[in-house]
Structures are given as structure tokens and as C-alpha cells.
Amino acid sequence: MFYQQASIPLNETQAEVFSDALMDLGALSSAIEDAFAGTDNEEPIFGEPTMPQQQLWQQSMVVALFDEKTNVADVLQQAAIQTEITLPEYQITRIEEQDWVRLTQSQFDPIKISDRLWITPTWHNTPDHLAINLRLDPGLAFGTGSHPTTHLCLQWLDKNLFGKENVLDYGCGSGILTIAALKLGASSATGVDIDPQAIQASQNNAVQNNVQAAFYLPDELPEHQQFDVVVANILANPLRMLGQMLAARTKTGGRIVLSGILAEQVNEMSAIYAQWFEMQPAIINNGWACLCGIKR
């Protein structure tokens, strides 16, 4: 048995209605993604207080899954007729059936961040019982430690937390940086994300790691609260927009840590954040950068 995946590029006014039509016509699933995901043109969907509310990407990709017997081309034509949308050039790919659980697990081995810090999925034995082990499984929220940006932030926390700091993890995803901060000695840690599923995943991961952390949607974060360390591992586009807000959340003399930045974006991002911080040289890993600075 195999599955068929259709990828259809559409604009923001077409994507949702076309996706709904595909579900009505028998698609097993249908998701809407940024057509430029993974490139410098990737668009953030904000949702932070005072930020512009954008519901979908201007250039979206509808990705729908069908069983092997479906005439996908015919379904796409029917959806186009129902929605009165001119069907653009699309792609259909074949996906072989696999043991998805075992396949996923095989892709996630324990990750060594430093001599004293590991990330270990729950189906693996702890590699070093004397080290700090973050028990974290892949799930609905981004952040398993395998991506260079997460790795960079974890290494920074490992080297620069000395105990008793209060930490803000803005764009917490799975909560990995929030949890790591507490394991590394922070007195408190707070995670913020615009996605309710990320908040739920972070809360579950905190319980699994026996730490107590606070997780909020942006509007729920207590006003005027400031932090010794602010970490934002998101993307360059939202970081451009959020600079003033993140600076306001950082105590004078506190530190900011930024990642999700491509190496070629370092000079631009450093210049933006230099309005509020004494910026330090970037650390680069596989084309991704981590920037840090001290609040003036």
C-alpha cells in the first residue's frame, strides 16, 4: 500500500477554501504551509500583542494526502470547480507505507550538547547517568535539539547560566530551552508561544522532566515582567519585528540570545539589536547563527 501527496501552490485568499474542499472530496488530510518555508523569504505569522494579525501566508502551499486508489488529478479538478479557483501547476508524489513510529524513532538518537548536557528520547537509555538529561520526544511542537539553532541556544545556556537567573524563552515550541534553563540552574523560566499546541506540548515536556515552568500565549504574559536572560529561537523576520518588545522584557544588564538567523543575516540583525544591546560576535553552526548581547 502507498499514499499520494498533492502539493498545490495558492495565495492566501484561496488556500483555506481549497483545502476544505479537498477534505470534503475525500482527502485523508490537508495542511496549509508557507510556500517559501526554509528560505529567506519565509513569512512569519505573528499573533503577538500589537503585531499585525496575518491569518495565512501570502504564498501558501496546500499539501493533501490521498490513498492509493484515489484519482488525485480528478479530485483536484473537482475542488477547482467547486471553489471557482483556477488550478495552478501542482505536484503529486508517491509515499510508500512504512512503520512510521519506528521510522521516526530511528531518526532521533540521544544528542550530546556538552559534557554535562544530553537530550535523550524516552525510548532510549540515558547515555550518561551523571550528566543532565533532557527527556524529550519529537511531537507537535518544534524543538528536539537536532537543529543547529536549538543546539546553539542550548550550548549558550550551558556555558552562560550561573544559577538563580530568571529566563524568558520567547517562541518556546517544545519548551526545550525553558526546561534546559531550569535544569542548568535558573531559578525560574517562562516560555511563550503563539501556538496553543506548543504551550500544551511544553507543559507536558516540563512534567516529563520534573521541572516547574510557566507557559503563556503572548497576551497572557504578565505585563512589565522583565528577565535576566531572554532567548528567542525563531526566525529572522519575526526577530526584526520583535526587537523593541524583547528589549523591553530584558533587564538592564541582562542578556539576550537570538537564533533562527542565517549566517548572512548576522550583520543586519546585529545592527537592529544594537539599538538596545551591546552585541557580541556571532557563533555559527552549519550556516545558522546565534547572537547575544547585554542590555544597556
CATH number for the domain harbouring residue 60: 3.30.70.980
Coil, helix or strand at residue 18: helix
- pLDDT above 90 as % of the chain: 67
Strands across the sheet with 2-11, in order? 29-34, 59-67, 2-11, 91-96
* pLDDT for residue 102: 54
Q: Which amino acid is at 193?
A: D
pLDDT tens-digit series, residues 197-240: 899 999 999 999 999 999 999 999 999 999 999 999 998 999 99
One domain, residues 160 and 70: no
Q: Scan for cell 488550478, then name that residue.
A: 87
Alpha-carbon distance values, 270 to 40, 227, 255 (Å): 17, 20, 14
Asked which of 12-16, 152-156, 249-253 is least confident by mean pLDDT, the reply is: 12-16
Average pLDDT over residues 234-247: 94
One domain, residues 85 and 209: no
Rg, Å, the chain Cα set: 21
* pLDDT for residue 46: 47
Are the CB atoms for 22 and 62 separated by under 8 Å? yes
* pLDDT for residue 128: 80
- pTM for the structure as a whole: 0.68
Question: Which of 71, 97, 123 delimits the end of a domain?
Answer: 97
Alpha-helical segments (H) within 161-195: 176-183
- Beta bridge partners, 285, equal 288
Are the CB atoms for 235 and 262 separated by under 8 Å? no
Question: Which of 97, 127, 158 delimits the end of a domain?
Answer: 97
Q: Residue 266 sits in a domain of what CATH number?
A: 3.40.50.150
One domain, residues 279 and 151: yes
One domain, residues 51 and 126: no
One domain, residues 12 and 43: yes
One domain, residues 151 and 201: yes
Q: Which residue has the higher pLDDT, 293 or 55?
A: 293
* pLDDT for residue 12: 81
One domain, residues 68 and 138: no
Average pLDDT over residues 255-275: 96
Average pLDDT over residues 59-74: 93
One domain, residues 183 and 56: no
One domain, residues 245 and 173: yes
pLDDT tens-digit series, residues 114-173: 988 988 877 778 778 888 888 887 654 455 566 889 999 999 999 999 989 999 999 999
Domain count of the fold of the chain: 2
Question: Which of 97, 130, 157 delimits the end of a domain?
Answer: 97
Q: Is pLDDT of 55 > 70? A: no
Q: Of 150, 218, 219, which Cα lies nearest the Cα of 178?
A: 150
Coil, helix or strand at residue 262: strand
- What's the gap between Cα 288 and its chain centre? 15
One domain, residues 50 and 121: no
One domain, residues 83 and 164: no
Q: Are strands 59-67 and 29-34 parallel, antiparallel or unpaired?
A: antiparallel
Q: What is the mean pLDDT of the chain?
A: 88
* Containing structural domain, residue 255: 104-295
One domain, residues 190 and 70: no
Q: Which phi and psi angles does 133 have, rounded to 5°?
A: -115, 120
Q: Which amino acid is at 247?
A: A
